[in-house]
Structure 1
Amino acid sequence: MKLVHVFDAYCGWSHGFSGTLREVVTRHPELEVEVVSGGLFLGERRVPIREFGYVQGSNAKISELTGAEFGEAYGQLIADGTFVMDSEDAARGMAALREAAPDRLAELAPALQRAFYVDGLSLSEPATYRTVAEAAGLDADAVVAAFEAPASQAAAEADFRRSAELGVTGFPTLLAADGDRITVVAIGHATADEVDARLAAAHNA
């Protein structure tokens, strides 16, 4: 059995789920973790953040439920309103980090979200991936090069296809994959204890 975490780095609920993901992985070091980027802000949804009027209210609810931090620098982005969230760029960056450290995805996905939601950094900028890579002790030059390489776009598109093939319609979605059998263990929000109970049920099914 392995875990499949389908998320979008620009999704506030995915950011809120980071603590649960870390706890589940800590409890289950034997489980491989696959991280798949979803396409939340693509096409016509790539618009200035002020177009999403619900953001601040949603973030307050996320923080209340999960304890997730939303930083001052991120708050300034929201207040300015011109920033455009581009999920393809975020997925390209996640693919670059995955290439550098495929066994640390449950740590790197939350780090990428922290860069945006706490530090207010754009996930479209190479400098952001340099910062995340350096903090994680990775080869920052290699990560930036991978982000900028044409192959990163193909990797992002492959992630979006994978998300669709898994039937995911909301982020985050945590799945337990056992061969061809896929079990949903969390959508949106869940505690580590709730995930544990569902994993045990999936294992015993």
Structure 2
Amino acid sequence: MKLVYVFDAYCGWSHGFSGTLSEVASRHPELPVEVVSGGLFTGSRRVPIREFGYVQGANAKIAELTGAEFGEAYERLIADGSFVMDSEAAARGLAALRQAAPARAVELAVAVQRAFYVDGLSLSDPATYRKVAEDAGLDADAVVAAFEGAEGRVAAEADFHRSASLGVTGFPTLLAVDGDLIAPVAHGHANADEVDRQLATLRTP
């Protein structure tokens, strides 16, 4: 069995789930975790953030429920409403980082979300992935090249198709996958104990 975590780097609820994801991964080193970008803000949804009027209110609720941090730099970035969240670029960035360190996908996904929601860095900017890569001790030049190259776009599209093929309709979604069995263990908001209870149910013969 493995876990598949489908999220979007520009999804506040996914940011709120970061603590749970990290805790579940640390509790279950025997379970590989595949991290997939879902593609929340693509195509016609790639518009200035002011068009999503619920952002600040939703973030306040996410912080209250999960303890997630929304930094001052992030608040400044989105203050005038003109910032455009581009999930395709974010997926390319995650894919580039994931390629550099496949076994650290959970840690890197959390770092990418922190770069946006705490440090106020655009996930369309190659410099963001350079910083995340450097902080993680990875080859930053290789990560930026992968982000900017054709393979990044291919990887992003593959992630979006993977998300759709798993039947995921909202983010974050954590799935347990065992052969043909695909079982949701968390959706939206859950703590590590709740995820553990779901996993225990699946492991009971």
User: Mean Cα displacement is larger for which, 75-84 or 162-171?
Assistant: 75-84
Alpha-carbon distance, 1:42 to partner = 0.6
Q: Normalized against structure 1, the TM-score is what?
A: 0.99
Q: Does 1:5 align with 2:5?
A: yes
Aligned equivalents of 2:179, 2:101: Cα separation in 1: 24
Aligned equivalents of 1:155, 1:114: Cα separation in 2: 22
Aligned length: 205
Cα RMSD after superposing both structures: 0.6
Aligned equivalents of 2:110, 2:80: Cα separation in 1: 24
Alpha-carbon distance, 1:163 to partner = 0.3
Aligned equivalents of 2:30, 2:180: Cα separation in 1: 19
- Alignment map for 1:104-123 (pairs within 5 Å): 104-123=104-123
Q: Which digits, 9 at most, give the CA deviation of each residue in 1:44-94, with x for residues without a partner?
A: 111111111000000000000000000001001221211000000000001
Following TM superposition, where does structure 1 have runs of at least 4 consecutive aligned residues deviating by more than 2 angstroms?
A: none
Q: Describe the SS at the equivalent of 1:5.
A: strand
* 1:134 counterpart residue number: 134
Q: Does 1:171 align with 2:171?
A: yes
Q: Normalized against structure 2, the TM-score is what?
A: 0.99
- Alignment map for 1:52-67 (pairs within 5 Å): 52-67=52-67
* 1:102 counterpart residue number: 102
Q: Describe the SS at the equivalent of 1:174.
A: strand
Aligned equivalents of 2:203, 2:158: Cα separation in 1: 28
Aligned equivalents of 1:3, 1:25: Cα separation in 2: 9
Aligned equivalents of 1:32, 1:139: Cα separation in 2: 23
* 1:183 counterpart residue number: 183
- For 1:23, the aligned partner's letter is E
Aligned equivalents of 2:133, 2:80: Cα separation in 1: 27
* 2:41 counterpart residue number: 41
Unaligned segments of structure 2, at least 5 residues: none
Aligned equivalents of 2:45, 2:52: Cα separation in 1: 9
Q: Describe the SS at the equivalent of 1:80.
A: coil
- For 1:166, the aligned partner's letter is L
